[in-house]
Amino acid sequence: MGVTFEQLRQHAALMLEKPLSFSKEDFIKLVEEYVEGLPEWRKDALLGYKVPGKVVAVRYRDLPRVLREDEEFFRRYVRALAEEGV
């Protein structure tokens, strides 16, 4: 059983709440597991947002790599995932 999106969100919230309890790499490994559990068509889909900058759309297969390489994207992604009341 892979990581669910809800579990990913919970870990993102935990990272923001207790930064020392969870490393960036621990979180990215969870993202890898989450992506691995997606259907093939979904792994090829894109996650995007509309800020002028270097990352505007990421293929899910590449999501762990981009999170490792792009600190700004990592920060925005974790913050958005951790949002309460959504």
Partner 1 sequence: MPAKLVILAPYYEVATRLWSPFLRGWVKNELEKRKVETVLLWGGDANRQKLWEAVKDPEIRGILGVGHGSETEIVGQNNETLLKVGDSIGPEWRKLCFAPVSCLVGQKLVPWLVEQGVPCAVGEETEYWFTAEDKPREGNDPEEDQLLKYYLRAEYTYWFRLAEGFTAGQAYQMMLDEYEKQAKLAQQVDPETAYWLRYDAKHRKFFGDGSFLLTPGVRTRVDATVTVIRDARGRKDDFFITGRVVAEDGSTPKGWVEVWVNDKGATVPLEEDGSFSWTTSMFWTRNEEKLYAIAVIYNGYKDGKVYLPSRFDTQVKVEPITVPTVLTITDARASRDGPIVFLDYRGRLYDYKGNPLPGKSVAVSFGDGELREEEVVTDGDGAFQGTLSKIAELLQTKATVRAWFRGDDVYQGSSDTKVVSFPPNWEAVIPILAALLAGALVLALLLASIL
Binding site for partner 1 (CB under 8 A): 4-6, 9, 41-42, 44-53, 56-57, 59, 76, 80, 83, 85-86
Least Å distance between CB 25 and partner 1? 22
17 vs 83 by CB, closer to partner 1: 83
Q: What is the radius of gyration, based on Cα positions, of the chain?
A: 13
Residue 21, SS3 per DSSP: helix
Residue 59, SS3 per DSSP: strand
Least Å distance between CB 12 and partner 1? 11
Residue 45, SS3 per DSSP: coil
